[in-house]
Amino acid sequence: MGPYRLADPASLWASPAVSSLDEAIFYTLTYADVFNYPLTLAEVHRYLIGMRSTRDAVAEALRGLPDCAVGGGYYALPGHTSLTDVRQRRERIAATMWPRALAYARAISRLPFVRMVALTGGLSMGNVEPNDDIDLLVVTMSDRVWVTRLFIIQFVVKAAARHGDEVCPNYLLAEHALAMHERTLYHAHEVAQMVPLYGAGVYRSLRDANRWVDHFLPNAQGPPPRDVASGEGAWRYRAILEAPLRSPLGAWLDRWEMARMSRKLAVSAGTEELALSHERCKGHTGSHGNVTRDAFVSRLSRD
């Protein structure tokens, strides 16, 4: 298909400019190719880059691109038929991880000051290998981001590690600061792909606060169509647990923990993908966004 070549392929990363549906499909399949992930028709439509379209129109366009059909109802860049087997194998692995991810999310939802828990990363798309992380985004009560993170580490992350699972609450946001500062194709996908497991109302507020995602992925409205119940009500004993730390002591502890962990994270991780403040802890220890950008741009730049 194509070829479609931007004068500056990197420009698509920050501001998608798409002139036709075929071009949008090409970019969408190219992004998925970075993750060795063929897409279904529904996924090509949902994650279509830079263009609003109907599912029927996407289906018609794909019928005109027979080289992109790779079997099993999946679509990928031409010549990537082997990705069907890769996806199906990874989905089987994901199916074994989902019950544990739900259990950890439920445990986190019962901790003090937690207002939303969402699954992110590869597992949210069913695209994982054995021993991959369970990545989570957590929204907390305002001014208690770092205390909440401390509770999650002590009572859930460490317990999960004893069972051989790596739970990574690598993005925490205060409920009054849901707008994300990073606005790229990668971060738009992170928002559109996240699966809310607890706190559906807060999830809706988060999507409303990040309407910029529609510029990148205009068809990706609401959560992905996963058959997962999203809890609304708080655990009835949580208010009792929160009471002692709704105080100057709790505020002091939050500031102390932020200072302690900011120093530690700055030493152990590259600084490009860190965002540490009273209202957010984005503590990714790898440059996933930058690596994805480079791979995406490289594919677009190939002759």
Please spell the DSSP secondary structure of 262-287, one letter per residue: HHHHHHHS-STTEEEETTEEEE-SS-
pLDDT at 232: 57
| Mean pLDDT value of segment 156-174 | 96
State the average pLDDT over residues 136-155: 95
- Give the tens place of pLDDT for each residue, 29-47: 999 999 999 999 999 999 9
SS3 164: coil
**Share of residues in the chain with pLDDT > 90 (%):** 67
303 confidence band (pLDDT: 50, 70, 90): very low
pTM for the full predicted model: 0.90
Work out the pLDDT band at 57, boundaries 50, 70, 90.
very high
Distances from the Cα of 147 to the Cαs of 15, 79, 111, 153, 178, in angstroms?
36, 50, 10, 10, 18
Question: Domain boundaries in the chain?
Answer: 11-84+292-301, 95-286
Report d(CA 157, CA 108) in Å as an integer: 9
3-state SS assignment for residue 246: coil
Most confident listed range (15-24, 109-118, 283-292): 109-118
CB count in 10 Å sphere of residue 129: 11
Q: Give the pLDDT confidence score for residue 235 in this predicted structure.
A: 64
Among 158, 157, 140, 156, which Cα is nearest to 148's? 140
The confidence score (pLDDT) of residue 288 equals 83
pLDDT at position 207:
97
Q: What is the pLDDT of residue 26?
A: 94
Query: Has residue 283 got a pLDDT over 90?
Result: no
Of 71-80, 117-126, 220-229, which gets the smallest average pLDDT?
A: 220-229
Residue among 68, 244, 73 nearest 151 (CA): 244
List strands edge to edge, sheet with 39-40: 39-40, 74-75, 69-71
User: Sheet of 114-120: strands edge to edge?
Assistant: 195-198, 114-120, 134-140, 167-174, 280-283, 274-277
More confident residue, 69 or 7: 69
Q: What is the mean pLDDT of residues 96-100?
A: 95
**Distance of alpha carbon 104 from alpha carbon 238, whole angstroms:** 16
Q: What per-residue confidence (pLDDT) applies to 245?
A: 87
Residue 243: band (very low, low, confident or very high) from pLDDT cuts 50, 70, 90: confident
Contact 278, 143 (CB under 8 A): yes
Residue 72: both structure tokens together: 């099993």
pLDDT, residue 205, reads 97
Residue 227 pLDDT level (bands cut at 50, 70, 90): low
The predicted pLDDT at position 199 comes to: 93
Q: What is the pLDDT of residue 237?
A: 76
**Residue 134 pLDDT exceeds 50:** yes
Asked if 300 contacts 6 with a C-beta cutoff of 8 angstroms, the reply is: yes
Tell me the DSSP string of 156-216: IIHHHHHTT--EEEEEEEETT----S--SHHHHHHHHH-EEEE-HHHHHHHHHHTTTHHHH
Distance between CA atoms of residues 186 and 292, nearest Å:
7
Look at residue 163 in the predicted model and tell me its pLDDT. 94
Lowest mean pLDDT among 68-82, 85-99, 211-225: 68-82
Q: Classify strands 167-174 and 134-140 as parallel, antiparallel or unpaired.
A: parallel
What does the mean pLDDT of the chain come to? 89
Q: What is the mean pLDDT of residues 110-115?
A: 94
